[in-house]
Structure 1
């Protein structure tokens, strides 16, 4: 759409979407003396970050340094170069340097604005064994947030619809071991005490992504930042070769909003778009497998592409494998919110624990089940391309897994009868019976079990290194030796569950430079158009170097975009 010079509203900077980088960018604009508008198509504010585990990965940040962890941009760059092996237009040296240089500044800026960061000490980098890897981690959390502090805006906060516990995200691995360790029991008792106190005082404590975006929204409201909800982007408005504003569907009419200095896209990906998934993502796939935020429908990416924006990594996602019933739907009970919204189980922590392994339909392992969840999804699809026998795969577990640890929403010791009746979870008295009920190749599974159980006895997974990284071990069971992530599968009854490559958002999109400007195929910038978050080809490419890598990058490049668009270098 081209402009005819008439506008309904005018701002210095217009930010489309309200996810991780949006309020950060708007706050940076205000600090620079400019006025930014956030427009959000959903009725809720917070985007994918509000639905997330609520973690930032920011190397060399001041919070970890105050905790006594020595880091530097040089050391972090060494790690990024080792972990991010994909060489694409989103992972250029200039973008890596911009991320590493501005991430710590972004954290300092938000601290000054009132964000309350917590260092996730011990949440290791995902590939800590690589040069520059940090076993204590580079990840940050937000303090638990009392959503009552938002007043009338409390109901507008975007948050995951599943069960919500007033617990910092980094304490969930301990909670998983409540039946196994004193630390787990202490974590559980502390959480119960916090819940009782909150009930007595009326506090409504939120953790995870709601803690980040709740605090960010509180700061935004304090600073009187204009935020429009229920306002969907209809078109970018262009004058010559420059994006000068947006047309937004708001209140039943088309509103033309001028953006004097630029437009920032922070609109999420396209996990909820069946057509875009079929066009770009590996097969088989389904929008029913995702836990992405409901606004992840991809229209803004398509509008940018229509302007000539280059895209990359459109076949990639932030994979977190999920388990589904034979009909391809989440299991009942547990797999649905109170309002009926499907909530596919996300398996990372439970896959890391002993007495289980994942195999394809040939009965063969293909990954480190305790490793980086994005890599597990990639390996599942790689195996599917090689054999056509990996989607779905199977988790095989013995009776101790079900006795000791949670699975999905089932607590230790629980195997819901409805799961068995529906075929979501298959139970057998022997491996032969399990093979008969699942159709897994029997000889292949027998060979894998013999080899896997040998690894459990020696403590060394010679095939995939399960338990060899600090990241694996921080999610293991320390009472199991010699490897906290390995437990033999030998005590009946045995169980099997179908596994699929679920996700929490797509990880590809428009190509941007070190200033967050959207680029064309020839490398030239689309003037006036910036982007950050899951709608971009990520600075970490096709890998996930640490917890919160996508959110850390979203905030950082939103911060960078505001400074560049408004004519100021980041401080």
Structure 2
């Protein structure tokens, strides 16, 4: 019999999306969860993210008169993800996600969580059977950090999130173009002034989501320990019964009566694992995942028998590498007019306005790196990364990050492309911009494409000719916000061995697992939603109430 330093009912490894949802459920039925976070901050990559959950048929749909159903979600998920996406995306797993999502949202609301609909943030493949153009995504309202009190000091925040206290990314990206965008810009300035006066930020995106979840966890008595990394799992007679932790220079053994849940993220910041499993080239310098995304819990689970899958996948977000700063992500920027992405042969390679994950996969298919080509109107009218429109730092050009030229041909020479090939590509694209029909990649034909487009650009809000000098180029790489492969689990989030048998007492969710979404990102917040849902299902199963 093992000697234990302490005991909990359910030990949760990692504090990202879903961990606190599981903890809140267990506290609600009288159980004692314990969340262990190896870093000094709480919230994981979820806190640094857009903070959105994609839940088909969630309860806010009916409240706001949106036509949705479990069956529509099923048809769409099957159409988008497919039926052969690997052992992490079985029919049983997809069914569990669809059925448990809505009651989980209802439960979290009953605990005091606040959600808002992301109206208009369409499914990414809305044209498919069951797609919802009005959005299945939920977000959290903005949160004044002062309302968190000292808890705010424990919350992880990302550099891409803190400066933008806005409640809808789409409008602020059109601040120079539409009345709604201008008004959002005015409100942003007012919030920034208030932040400067109070010395505390107004949290949005993942900060608002995880900030609220942290406040609820504190109020309900869910214990969360930071600087508490897992060294190993304790296995007795084929069952995981606890964990070995390192804290304050000492090792402690914590018993888990009902089980252990791994929700510790993926391996975006583990160079050796990326080189072993991922596509090439790749770099830990290209990720926006949290600093704790280092993969050791995946390796520990594998050492205890866990099967792995989809280890070559990540939540790709094409990015560029500005001087002296974090990786720029270009989800909204590439949807705007007057910009295309080309390969080393000067050929266009993608629908720039489609899902960021699909665009990352397109980059790898075409060859890394690629080149962003734009005309001066894009830089004048729209943001690039977190840089506002019309404000281009001097070091962009002096460092070589941005190339500039008076003609397309001279720009091609500056970046090592064939001038005639790039000219041919631009001329063909400009023809599409004039007719509004992209015959090569169908850009602008989906509702999602249009979501981040410019409605003032006609006849297609995503297509604008590249013809006004100076012309600009940026080298683009397949950045990411986390890996999407890992431990294989079943519909209860139980960890499975390669032969399909269960590693008793061990559960996993989030980016530590092979995604239920397979190699596809069906809508805004799909990864965070899966993390929440399967953490919630794991807690139910461990408590003897499977199914959620």
User: What is the TM-score of this pair, normalised by structure 1?
Assistant: 0.94
User: Offset of 1:163 from its aligned partner?
Assistant: 5.5
Query: Which residue number in structure 2 is paired with residue 246 of structure 1?
Result: 243
Q: Which secondary structure does the structure 2 equivalent of 1:12 belong to?
A: strand
Q: Residues 205, 415 of structure 1: CA spacing in aligned structure 2 closer, same or farther, 3 A cutoff?
A: closer
| Aligned residue in 2 for 1:338 | none
Please say if 1:470 is aligned against 2:444. no
Q: State which of 68, 74, 77 in structure 2 corresponds to 1:77.
A: 74
How far did residue 402 of structure 1 move? 1.3
| Structure-to-structure mapping, 1:262-281, within 5 angstroms | 262-281=259-278
User: Within the alignment, does 1:331 sit opposite 2:323 as a pair?
Assistant: yes
Matches for 1:229-244 after TM superposition, within 5 Å: 229-244=226-241
Give the 5 Å matches for 1:416-495: 416-495=393-472
Aligned-partner SS, 1:394: strand
Say which SS state the counterpart of residue 110 (structure 1) adopts: helix
**Equivalent position to 1:66, from 36, 58, 63:** 63
Aligned to 1:346: 329
Secondary structure, counterpart of 1:20 in structure 2: coil
Q: Which runs of 5+ in 1 are unaligned?
A: 325-329, 336-342, 385-390
SS where residue 38 of structure 1 aligns? strand
SS of residue paired to 1:504? strand
User: Offset at 1:414?
Assistant: 2.2
Give the conservation status (yes or no) of the 8 Å contact 1:143–1:168.
Answer: no
Mean CA deviation greater in 201-210 or 523-532: 201-210
Give the whole-Å Cα distance in 1 for the aligned partners of 2:465 and 2:164: 34
Corresponding residue for residue 509 of structure 2: 532
**Distance between the aligned counterparts of 1:65 and 1:163, measured in 2?**
30
What secondary structure, in the 3-state scheme, does the structure 2 residue paired with 1:367 have? coil
Contact 2:410 2:419 in 1 (8 A): no
CA distance, structure 1, for counterparts of residue 455 and residue 85 of structure 2: 38
**Helix, strand or coil at the partner of 1:179:** coil
The residue number in structure 2 matching 1:377 is 360
SS at match of 2:360: helix
Helix, strand or coil for the counterpart of 1:235?
A: strand
Contact 1:165 1:206 in 2 (8 A): no
Question: How far off is 1:267 after superposition?
Answer: 0.3
Q: 1:200 deviation in Å?
A: 5.6
RMSD of aligned Cα (Å): 1.3
Q: How does 1:511-550 map to 2 (within 5 A)?
A: 511-550=488-527
Aligned pair partner of 1:98 in 88, 96, 99? 96
Matched, 1:225 2:208: no
SS of residue in 1 equivalent to 2:89: coil
* Equivalent position SS for 1:5: coil
The CA deviation at 1:166 is: 5.3
CA distance in 1, matches of 2:405, 2:143: 45
Q: Does 1:43 align with 2:40?
A: yes
Of 236, 258, 261, which aligns to 2:258? 261
Structure 1 SS opposite 2:288: coil
CA distance 1:307–1:33, change in 2 (3 Å): same
Whether contact under 8 Å (2:49, 2:161) holds in the other structure is no
Q: Which residue of 2 aligns with 1:387?
A: none
Q: Identify if the C-alpha distance between structure 1 residues 526 and 439 changes in structure 2 by more than 3 Å, giving closer, same or farther.
A: same
1:197-212 → structure 2 map (5 Å cutoff): 197=194, 204-212=201-209
Instruction: Report if aligned partners of 2:122, 2:136 keep a CA contact under 8 Å in 1.
Output: yes
In the alignment, is the contact (CA less than 8 A) between 1:274 and 1:286 conserved in 2? yes
Equivalent of residue 561 in structure 1, options 529, 538, 547: 538
Match 1:112 to one of 103, 110, 113: 110
State yes or no: 1:5 paired with 2:6.
no
Deviations 1:153-209 (A, max 9, x none): 22110111235245345x222111111111110111122233445556676320010
Partner of 1:360: 343
Whole-angstrom distance in 1 between the partners of 2:110 and 2:504: 31
Separation (CA, whole Å) in 2 of partners of 1:111 and 1:202: 30
Q: Does 1:313 align with 2:310?
A: yes
Deviates more, 1:409-418 or 1:430-439: 409-418
Distance 1:172 1:99 in 2: 27
The CA distance in 1 between the partners of 2:320 and 2:208, in whole Å, is 27
Alpha-carbon separation, structure 2, partners of 1:118 and 1:251: 40
Structure 1 residue ranges (4+ consecutive) displaced by more than 6 angstroms after TM superposition: none
Deviation at 1:528, TM superposition (A): 0.2
SS of 1:70's equivalent in the other structure is coil
User: What residue in structure 1 maps to residue 370 of structure 2?
Assistant: 393
On the 8 A contact 2:266/2:485 being kept in 1, the answer is: yes
Number of aligned residue pairs: give it: 547
Give the alignment partner of residue 29 of structure 1, picking from 23, 26, 31. Answer: 26
Q: Distance in 1 between matches of 2:71 and 2:165?
A: 34
Cα contact 2:143–2:203 (8 A) shared by 1: yes
Contact 1:166 1:194 in 2 (8 A): no
Aligned 8 A contact 1:17 1:265 in 2 = yes
The Cα shift of 1:570 comes to 4.1
Deviations 1:397-455 (CA, angstroms, capped at 9, x unpaired) = 11111111111233222222211111100000111111111111222212211211111
Q: Secondary structure of 2:243's partner?
A: strand
* Distance in structure 1 (CA, Å) of the matches to 2:357 and 2:24: 31
